[in-house]
Amino acid sequence: MSGVAGRSGRKTFVPTPEQRNNVKILTALGIPQQQICRLVINQQTGKPLDEKSLRKHFEREIATGATELFARMGNFIVANIFGMATPAGTVAIDNQHVRGTLAIFFAKTRMGWKETVADRHKEHVGGPIEYQEVKDVRQRFLDRIARLRNAGKTGGSSEG
For 35, phi and psi rounded to 5 degrees?
-80, -35
Is residue 101, in this structure, part of any structural domain at all?
no
Complete DSSP assignment for 68-103: HHHHHHHHHHHHHHTT---TT-PPPP--HHHHHHHH
Is residue 58, in this structure, part of any structural domain at all?
no
Is residue 130, in this structure, part of any structural domain at all?
yes
Give pLDDT, residue 87. 67
Work out the angle at residue 146's Cα, subtended by the Cα atoms of residues 141 and 147, and round it to the nearest 5 degrees.
Answer: 100
pLDDT digits (tens, 9 = 90+) for 126-157: 666 667 777 778 888 788 888 888 887 776 65
Q: Are 72 and 88 in contact (CB under 8 A)?
A: yes
Q: Please state, in angstroms and rounded to a whole number, the distance separating the CA atoms of residues 50 and 35.
A: 10
Give pLDDT, residue 143. 84
Question: What is the number of structural domains in the chain?
Answer: 1
pLDDT digits (tens, 9 = 90+) for 9-62: 677 899 999 999 999 999 999 999 999 999 999 998 999 999 999 999 999 999
State how far the alpha carbon of 34 is from the alpha carbons of 23, 45, 48, 69, in Å. Answer: 12, 18, 10, 21
Is residue 147, in this structure, part of any structural domain at all?
yes
Give pLDDT, residue 78. 87
Give pLDDT, residue 17. 96
Residue 74 CA, distance from chain mean position: 14
Helix 96-110 crosses helix 59-81 at what angle (to 10 degrees)? 130
Give pLDDT, residue 1. 46
pLDDT digits (tens, 9 = 90+) for 116-131: 877 666 655 666 666 7
Range of the domain at 130: 120-154
